[in-house]
């Protein structure tokens, strides 16, 4: 039976947590399932640790999904700041001017075949041009700016015309 159960120290190490963190999770009834033997002995099964960890898995967004989110932010900016009304004609081009996608409507359709895969290859800089039903046109440069900690975040800049 040895090896079937892990001590709290072993379980915390297995999960990459501190022993104190695991104890706090258990006290809040938010941690992995555990077994109590006698008055004080707490043990964890590996299968319970893996199940608990898997339930907390967060999906990693793809580059295409991130780009669609940025484009949606530009569309929202046009509607909210510049009072542009739809249907909106949205054209996305890369830094060399090659068209990556075009969409007419209130929002960019995330399920539109081909857009996400094209955008996967088009990490900023790129240009988003939006034209409203009255012919008003706005263009935005999207570039990535470094942030503290080495992360990067999109910077959306309106082009003057």
- Could you report the per-residue pLDDT of 106-152, keeping only the tens digit for each? 555 444 445 555 555 556 678 888 888 888 889 988 887 777 777 77
In this structure, CATH architecture of domain 63-158: Roll (3.10)
Q: Domain residue spans in the chain?
A: 5-55, 63-158
- Side-chain half-sphere exposure of 64, counting CA atoms within 13 A: 16
What letters, b where the CB count within 10 A reaches 16 and e where it falls short, cover 99-112?
ebbebeeeebeeee
Rounded to the nearest integer, the mean pLDDT of the chain is 80
Q: Say what percent of the chain tops pLDDT 70.
A: 80
Query: Are 83 and 105 in contact, with CB atoms under 8 Å apart?
Result: no
Question: Which parts of the chain are beta strand (E)?
Answer: 5-6, 35-37, 41-45, 88-94, 99-105, 126-131, 137-146, 152-158
């Amino acid at each position: 039976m040895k090896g079937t159960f892990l001590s709290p120290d072993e379980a915390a190490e297995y999960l990459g947590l501190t022993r104190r963190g695991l104890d706090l999770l258990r006290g809040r009834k938010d941690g992995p399932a555990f077994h109590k033997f006698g008055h004080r002995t707490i043990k964890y099964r590996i299968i319970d640790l893996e199940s608990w960890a898997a339930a907390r898995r967060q999906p990693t967004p793809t580059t295409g999904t991130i780009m669609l989110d940025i484009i949606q932010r530009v569309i929202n900016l046009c509607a909210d700041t510049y009072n542009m009304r739809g249907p909106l004609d949205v054209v996305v081009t890369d830094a060399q001017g090659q068209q990556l996608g075009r969409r007419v409507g209130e929002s960019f359709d995330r399920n539109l075949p081909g857009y996400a895969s094209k955008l996967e290859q088009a990490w900023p800089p790129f240009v988003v041009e939006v034209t409203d039903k009255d012919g008003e046109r706005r263009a935005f440069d999207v570039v990535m700016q470094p942030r503290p900690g080495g992360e990067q975040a999109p910077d959306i800049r309106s082009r003057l015309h």
